[in-house]
Structure 1
Amino acid sequence: MANAVMDPRTETGSPLVKSRPGARVLIYSHDTFGLGHLRRSRALANAIVEAQPGTSVIIISGSPVIGNFEFETGVDYIRIPGVTKLHDGDYRSLNLNVSLDEAVGLRQALILQAAKAFQPDVFIVDKEPTGFRGEVVPALDYLKAAGCRLVLGIRDVMDEPALLVPEWERKGAKTALIRYYDEIWVYGLKDVYQPLKALDLPRDIESRITYTGYLRRDVPPTPSLTKYPKITKQPFILVTTGGGGDGDDLIDWVISAYEADAELDQPALILFGPFIDRDKRRSFVERPARQPKLDVMSFDNKIEWLMKKADAVVAMGGYNTFCEALSFDKRTLIVPRTRPRLEQYIRAVEAERLGLVRMLSDYKEPRTPERMAAALRALSSQPRPSKVVIPGLLDGLDRVRERLTVLTESRPQFAAAYHQAAE
């Protein structure tokens, strides 16, 4: 990693110009739970270095599984101590035997040190303007003073306005958005959903928002080393819950449908995800074993290959899975989580309105095996997403690369800026 330049001037007294070949991008991945933020940050990082050879990207992440993923040349990561979300909504340190406050303090110090050592031209913060419990604020102060361009990247849907507004008020997120960020990238389309509309932002802040479109996904350049079950050699339904930490209801509902309806013809492969509770996983393995049309897998770090092979997809409707279903043009049934947030439900409602997916929810109707069986059976006749023409729908990575080019062309040219920021 590059060392911070400590002497801001040459012997002649002229400003010392940075001598480095390509731009540098630092990404902070807000990943206290699940895989969503990490996988989105990885997609962005890989796309950036593919489009701009010579660029270096570092992802800062607390995800315990970040090492399981492949990154393009030019991308690396810094693993900071993880935190995990408890069932009551609180948090604790994931592995270290320290208090949450101490864990956050350590994370904060490492983020700031990474910013000082790497000297990025652009800093992309995922989802939370101040980071987890404000941990990214010292880095924002330092980088803003140094002339680094600051970007907040958010998914298409955050939460229902009634919860988002007070949450952002409590965290000081709106104030941070106004104070720090040069641009806000919404990884979706304005005509689909406006995640920050309820915040009543000043007009000049609204002008900083770019709706990029959704982030298109491709299969990785090398196939997965995971051995797929025999069930994948025929048309099958892929059932995925993302990270798996909160997908119990979906898995149980699908298994119940096959247990209740012996006439369900199309087989299904259930992908648990790395964060599923071990006891529940054991139960879910035993039940499909008695169903000839079901099989299971634990985790695949190249799920894109499975997604491409599948005939249809059943998912909770997190951001990344939604992007993959659109990218691979899969008939998709969204079964959204409705607790503790309505993010997935809102996305599913809007996507169904546009004809991109169909939704099955237990938000207002009972969760019965018969309802799921009927929905699974209907998948084979469901139109594919490509039947709906929506301009710019999957242009997200292209728009990000365009904006990044603009930002890096105006990057600070003198190491003195970073020296002055450190004083």
Structure 2
Amino acid sequence: MADLATIANKDPAPRTIWPGPARGPRVLIYSHDTFGLGHLRRSRALANAIVGDHADASVVIISGSPVIGNFEFGSGVDYIRIPGVTKLPDGDYRTLNLNVSLDEAVGLRQALILQTAKAFQPDVFIVDKEPTGFRGEVVPALDYLQAVGCRLVLGIRDVMDEPALLIPEWERKGAREALIRYYDEIWVYGLKDVHQPLQAFDLPEEVSRRITYTGYLRREIPPTPSLTKYPKITKQPFILVTTGGGGDGDDLIDWVISAYEADQTLEQPALILFGPFIDRDTRRAFVERIAKQPKLDVMSFDNKIERLMKKADAIVAMGGYNTFCEALSFDKRTLIVPRTKPRLEQYIRAVEAERLGLVRMLSDHNEPRTPERMAAALKALSSQPRPSEVTIPGLLDGLDRVQERLKALTKSAIQLTPAYHQAAE
């Protein structure tokens, strides 16, 4: 077997520029996916929208998520799964499956990312959230793709974290310097009037001009039905309680269950969706408690959660980016119960969304987490305004704006000649 590093550094064949009958636009998306489902689901939404707008487009997602194969992608989208890593409770990382050191795993991931870039020859490379990737693993690919004229885009969610934590984190990773050096455009998947995630960095004016606020990424119902059998509770108006991937949603689930245990006057039933990453012992304990409550039921995981959200009368969630987009897209009354550790991202988003009248928030940030508070919030859901009752221009225009920018970027790539690329190589 050939040495992986040798393969990764082998010079590619001369690049051929699209368009033309032989080649449509090519987009490579990097999603580091060290924890949860957020980055993967956002990348999937972008990829499906791209091929939906360009019938001849090809999109490859590079992901470390162990569950990427459970999701449905549009025609023209494929993925490459690199070895996974996972975040530990103390904030450190380890390899997910391989019996190798973290440094070895990162080296392997880095080589695979670079080789994919050389073999696929994308016109646009979209990096999700981390300007340098996990532990700098995407930098060699950025160097190579920048040299051959590929357009480089950093895509970030509306809220990253509070500046006091984000600034030192980005300094440690060299993220600000990478932002200035590499990226042709920066897409913020939100609205400037809601939050400006990069405002604290005092970026040069030339970099600030590269920022586009796209609006939130609208979600659609998957074209094919879910193979998951829904509980009987979903045949009547119900509250959907979701914690995304489930790896950090124990507190929310416990709080909801405790509300039903303490208040027998709660009339509307609730379906609790665990997510694929919930701890097994914790899940078992929750299932035992839920079984004793006639107005509660449970599901482990649904890879087409959009259909379940559409069926629900209301949503209770932690307020991660994707769930927030789905709540807006399906116009659901939503109660956000944000986590506040180790990041304030969800809390900041919930505060701003509540200010605008899009959702209501229940937090234990400064108040006790009592069953009575949760029960009262659940009862209030039925009279809460829907997001559509608030008019905010461009709120869900994210995918449309992404399509506009992609067309502009790929059009500029056409102007680069093959001779330029060969010289760069």
Q: Same fold (TM over 0.5)?
A: yes
Q: CA deviation at 1:52?
A: 1.1
8 Å CA contact 1:142, 1:421 repeated in 2 = no
Partner of 2:368: 366
State the distance in 2 between where 1:240 and 1:180 align: 37
Q: Structure 1 CA distance, aligned partners of 2:34 and 2:48?
A: 22
The within-5 A match list for 1:68-217 is: 68-217=70-219
1:354-394 CA distances to partner (integer Å, 9 max, x unpaired)?
00000000000000000000000000000000000000000
Deviations 1:242-296 (A, max 9, x none): 0000000000000000000011000000000000000000001110000000000
Q: Corresponding residue for 2:351?
A: 349
CA–CA distance in structure 1, aligned partners of residues 152 and 17 of structure 2: 21
The code of the aligned residue for 2:114 comes to: L
Relative to 1, partners in 2 of residues 1:267 and 1:93: Cα closer, same or farther, differing over 3 Å?
same
Shift of 1:180: 0.2
State how 1:1-400 maps to structure 2 within 5 Å: 6=13, 20-400=22-402
Secondary structure at 2:413 match in 1: coil
Distance in 2 between the 1:220 and 1:282 partners? Answer: 30
For the Cα contact (< 8 Å) 2:12–2:118, is it kept in 1?
no
Indicate the larger mover: 22-31 or 404-413: 404-413
Give the partner amino acid of 1:206: S
Partner Cα separation in structure 2 for residue 141 and residue 341 of structure 1: 31
Give distance in 1, aligned partners of 2:215 and 2:12.
38
| Cross-structure match for 1:13 | none
CA displacement at 1:6 relative to structure 2: 2.5
In structure 1, distance between residues paired with 2:341 and 2:295: 30
- Written as runs of structure 1 = structure 2, the 5 A alignment for 1:400-419 is 400-412=402-414, 413-419=416-422
Contact 2:14/2:421 (CA < 8 Å) preserved in 1? no
Normalising by structure 1, we get a TM-score of 0.96
Give CA deviations for 1:188-220 in whole Å, capped at 9, x if unaligned: 000000000000101110000000000000100
CA contact (8 A) 1:5 1:419 kept: no
Quick check: 2:32–2:133 contact (8 Å CA) kept in 1?
Answer: yes
Tell me how far apart the structure 1 counterparts of residues 24 and 421 of structure 2 sit (CA, whole Å).
17
- The residue type paired with residue 357 of structure 1 is V
Change (3 A) 1:43 1:185: same
Secondary structure at the aligned position of 2:60 is classed as strand
Contact 2:259/2:374, CA 8 A, preserved across alignment? yes
Distance 1:357 1:7, change over 3 A: closer
| Distance across 2 between alignment mates of 1:322 and 1:114 | 32
CA contact (8 A) 2:316 2:334 kept: yes
Deviation at 1:421, TM superposition (A): 3.8
Q: Does the aligned pair in 1 maintain the 2:62–2:80 contact within 8 Å? A: yes
Distance between the aligned counterparts of 1:353 and 1:135, measured in 2? 38
Q: What are the Cα deviations for residues 295-327 of structure 1, in whole angstroms up to 9, with x where unaligned?
A: 000000000000000000000000000000000
Secondary structure (helix, strand or coil) at the match of 1:351 reads: helix
Matches of 1:7 and 1:196, distance apart in 2: 37
Per-residue displacement from partner, 1:129-186 (whole Å, max 9, x unpaired)? 0000000000000000000000000000000011111111111000000000000000
Equivalent AA in structure 1 for residue 310 of structure 2: K
Cα contact 1:127–1:153 (8 A) shared by 2: yes
Instruction: Rate the CA distance shift 1:69–1:417 in 2: closer, same or farther, 3 A.
Output: farther
Give the whole-Å Cα distance in 2 for the aligned partners of 1:421 and 1:212: 32
CA contact (8 A) 2:239 2:268 kept: yes
Distance 1:119 1:420 in 2: 15
Q: Is the 8 A contact 2:65 2:81 kept in 1?
A: yes
Q: Which residue of 1 aligns with 2:6?
A: none
Q: 1:30 deviation in Å?
A: 2.4
Given that 1:4 and 1:119 are in contact with CA atoms closer than 8 Å, whether structure 2 keeps it comes out as no
Conservation of the 8 A alpha-carbon contact between 2:153 and 2:187: yes
CA distance in 2, matches of 1:81, 1:244: 21
SS of residue in 1 equivalent to 2:306: helix
Is this contact kept in 2: 1:5–1:415, CA < 8 A? no
- 1:241–1:273 contact (8 Å) kept in structure 2: yes
Give the length in aligned residue pairs: 413
Partner Cα distance (1:395, 1:421) in 2:
37
Contact 2:107 2:137 in 1 (8 A): yes
Maintained 8 Å contact 1:190/1:211 = yes
TM-aligned CA deviation for residue 417 of structure 1: 4.2
Extract unaligned runs of 5+ from structure 1: 9-15
Contact 2:29 2:61 in 1 (8 A): yes
Q: Deviations over 1:7-28 (max 9, x none)?
A: 57xxxxxxx7667320100000
